[in-house]
Structure 1
Amino acid sequence: MPRTLPVANRLLLGLTGLVLFAAGGAVLAAALGAGVPSWWPWSGPGDVLLTQRARQHWRAESWWWPTVIAALAVLLLLGLWWLLAQFRRSRLAEILVESPDGEVALLRGRALESVLIGEVEDLDGVARARIGIHGRPTAPTVRVRLLLEPYASPEETLRRLAAEALTHARTSAGLEALPAEVRLRAEKHHARRVV
């Protein structure tokens, strides 16, 4: 996921909250008789948001109020889900490393990612690697995306990735297992005209 997406997401969420807060504050100020701008549709405590005619227009329909309440409930749940999603980390910040004698240390997830990227990109046939560590601090998982050179053998690259880079990472972090999801993609070279 691009780094700008969470920033844009949080910015949009903040702007939405600010607009709703300002609108609610303006309605409350008008209801309390405080000064509001002349263009504001509700200017005093006697004004209402919906006229009696607007409120009673759909009143005879039995589906109207359950539909309105259900739609508002769905909007509220979506808003809460969106808010909580902002605080969820997509990558693992720290990995719990435990030695055989019971000592415990924390390894930064980004540090292990950068070491893995360096080792994987040194494999023959790998043009570029993107690696993310996810899961729990005691049971991390690795997501690997490899861009392979046109001559690379996917089977050989996958075998060396598992036997070398992932095994080194697992043993150096003292983990019993390090499951990995690997996605391979071949680099495309376009024909060039030779003069």
Structure 2
Amino acid sequence: MLGVVNRILLALAGLVLLAAGVCLLTAARPLGGRHAPLLTAATRHRYGRAEGWPWWALLAGLALCVLLALWWLLAQLRRSRLAELPVDTGDGSFAVLRGRALESAVAAEAGALAGVAGCRVALRGRRGSPTLRVALELEPHAVPADALAGLAGPILTHARTSAGLPGLPAEARLKVTGHQARRVS
């Protein structure tokens, strides 16, 4: 979702800058030179006749742009991975399970499956509802259904029980590694 917002904002900023550049290039001749102002007193007076409401609309639009830019900046700085999970120990207290530890445990178990060349795992979401994003890199001879069944069965069950969660949704992305033909000489 954030990638789509980034692309849209980048496209809008590019269009605004392009339009501003074209407007300045086409209006450069009648401006009257380097030292002439862009808005003369007559132009400001003409747009400010109705109790100055166009200037307030301009300021409100600029304030909205600043607020949207701050929201976008905060969205960029927000962590995408979950750092830790609380685990109920059964005696009324909680232990802390590091997100990286759970990720590496799931990656190690999934990497040991038959036909899996590599695995990357990311724990995302909120503390109350975490999700796993698993990227499996399969060897050319591997059967994707077997690798997915191995991941969905014992590996996710083990991760769910070790974290003390009633459910742990997971998204798996499978990619088959290419192999190069052997040279015959």
Q: Map Cα deviations across residues 65-103 of structure 1 (whole Å, 9 max, x no partner).
A: 587446424421321112321441100001010123323
Structure 1 distance, partners of 2:46, 2:177, is 62
Map of 1:52 onto structure 2 = 41
Structure 1 distance, partners of 2:57, 2:174, is 47
Map of 2:157 onto structure 1 = 167
Structure 2 distance, partners of 1:54, 1:145, is 60
Q: Secondary structure at the match of 2:68?
A: helix
Larger fraction in helix: 2
1:38-77 alignment runs, 5 A limit? 51-53=40-42, 55-56=44-45, 68-69=58-59, 71-77=61-67
Aligned residues: 149
Structure 2 distance, partners of 1:110, 1:190, is 34
1:91-110 alignment runs, 5 A limit? 91-110=81-100
Of the candidates 153, 167, 170, which is equivalent to residue 143 of structure 2?
A: 153
Structure 2 distance, partners of 1:155, 1:176, is 25
Label 1:96 to 1:57 Cα distance change in 2 as closer, same or farther (>3 A): same
Map of 2:74 onto structure 1 = 84
Structure 1 distance, partners of 2:116, 2:39, is 64
Structure 1 distance, partners of 2:85, 2:42, is 62
Structure 2 distance, partners of 1:145, 1:170, is 18
1:2-17 alignment runs, 5 A limit? none
Worse-superposed segment, 80-89 or 177-186: 80-89
Q: Map Cα deviations across residues 11-59 of structure 1 (whole Å, 9 max, x no partner).
A: xxxxxxxxxxxxxxxxxxxxxxxxxxxxxx9xxxxxx996525634766
Unaligned runs of 5+ residues in structure 2 are 1-34
Structure 1 distance, partners of 2:60, 2:132, is 40
TM-score (norm 2): 0.68
Partner AA of 1:55 in structure 2: R
Map of 1:119 onto structure 2 = 109
Map of 2:10 onto structure 1 = none
Q: Secondary structure at the match of 2:156?
A: helix
Structure 1 distance, partners of 2:97, 2:78, is 20
Label 1:192 to 1:101 Cα distance change in 2 as closer, same or farther (>3 A): same
Structure 2 distance, partners of 1:131, 1:53, is 63
Between the aligned residues of both structures, percent identity stands at 53
CA RMSD of aligned residues (A): 3.1
Structure 1 distance, partners of 2:105, 2:42, is 68
